[in-house]
Amino acid sequence: MIPAIERSEHEVTAIASRDADRAETVASELGIPNAYGSYDEMLADAPIDAVYNPLPNALHAEWTIRAADAGHDVLCEKPIGVDAEQAREMYDYCDRHDVTLMEAFMYRFHPRTERAAEVVAENLENVRAGSATFTFSLRGNPDDIRLDPDLAGGSLMDLGCYAVSAMRLFLGEPERVYAKSVDTRDAGVDSQLTGILEFESGATARIQSGFDTPFAESYRVEAENGWLEAENVFGADPDQPVEIEYEVGGRHVTEAFDPVDPYQREVEHFADAVESGSTPRIDGTESAHNMAVIDALYESAKRGEPVSLS
């Protein structure tokens, strides 16, 4: 994120850590002029206009609200909060304090994602099914924040939120979900989750997230007249060319995209929204709807039965 900000027309002027030495080390390595040993100190004293909040999931709301209290706009990492209710409260609070809040789903700002959504909306007729997968092997530190229930860890929160976002982007809002989760680490969070989303049209979508299997990022949409699919869809490197493939009416197409930094595009979109007073692409409604699906998937996995969304 820091290199992406520096590549834009904006700059990183301060960084904070719970440990002053760590903050100073990173600031020195990356040429950041101000370093602070507490978040409160930075919010009160740093020469900043906006804050990027990459803290563990359960801390997003607290420090987004504190940033808003200090008058700073906030780009907050996904997932925006611990549930849909908290997401709505965060956006409402920032709105009342006249600061911009945006959830940082950077993949939404990659030209490939934008083009894929366009192809699905304009060329695929009567979409019947979709699927999205995001997994990687999480090995090593058993105290990883992704495995901590007190910090709102879990594979659905860390990875599956992308898959949910993608299927909603392509298929719309589901009316019912069903999920099965597994806690293979005995950590109190899902290390693997598979969910089925059901839509009013009769279409279905499968989402999969996990820490137990090798790296995989993909989505696919299937319609009566064709399909679209892509790999490495949620975290393409800034120097990585990517593709989408689709078939419409028997015509097969591969579209290539030059390397682009989706983090930089995300930062620029956020800054433009702040400066113009416009609503960001990832707004309160979008964030709350994504979290509502995640809430329903967790509830379904807990109850062992489908859960409807209202």
Q: Are residues 68 and 212 in the same domain?
A: no
Report yes or no on 268 lying in a domain. Answer: no
Residue 206 placed within a domain: yes
Looking at the annotation, which residues are catalytic? 78
> How do residues 51-83 score in pLDDT, each as one tens digit?
999 999 999 999 999 999 999 999 999 999 999
Encode pLDDT of 5-37 as tens digits. Answer: 999 999 999 999 999 999 999 999 999 999 999
**Residue 183's domain spans which residues?**
107-260+284-308
- Residue where a domain stops, chosen among 71, 86, 105: 105
Name the pLDDT band for 140 (thresholds 50, 70, 90). confident
Using the predicted structure, report yes or no on whether residue 84 has a pLDDT greater than 80. Answer: yes
pLDDT number for residue 215: 97
Using an 8 Å Cβ cutoff, are 256 and 161 in contact? Answer: no
Does 95 lie in the same domain as 121?
A: no
Average pLDDT of the chain, as a whole number? 97
Query: Is 135 found in the same domain as 97?
Result: no
Q: Last residue of a domain, which of 82, 105, 128?
A: 105
- Residue 141 belongs to some domain of the structure: yes
Please state, in angstroms and rounded to a whole number, the distance separating the CA atoms of residues 104 and 79: 8
172 pLDDT more than 80? yes
- Asked if 126 and 247 sit in the same domain, the reply is yes
Query: Do residues 173 and 200 both lie within one domain?
Result: yes
Residue where one domain finishes, among candidates 105, 131, 153: 105
In this structure, the answer to whether residues 100 and 122 fall within a common structural domain is no
User: Do residues 199 and 167 lie in contact, with contact meaning Cβ atoms separated by under 8 Å?
Assistant: no
Per-residue burial over 123-150, b = 16 or more CB atoms within 10 Å of its CB, e = otherwise: bbeebbbbbbbbbbebeeeeebbbbbee
The reported pLDDT for the residue numbered 142 is: 86
Q: How far is CA 190 from the centre of its chain?
A: 18
Whether 272 is in a domain gets the answer no
Are 98 and 123 found together in one domain? no
The count of structural domains within the chain is 2
Same domain? 190 vs 304: yes
**Residue 93 forms part of a structural domain:** yes
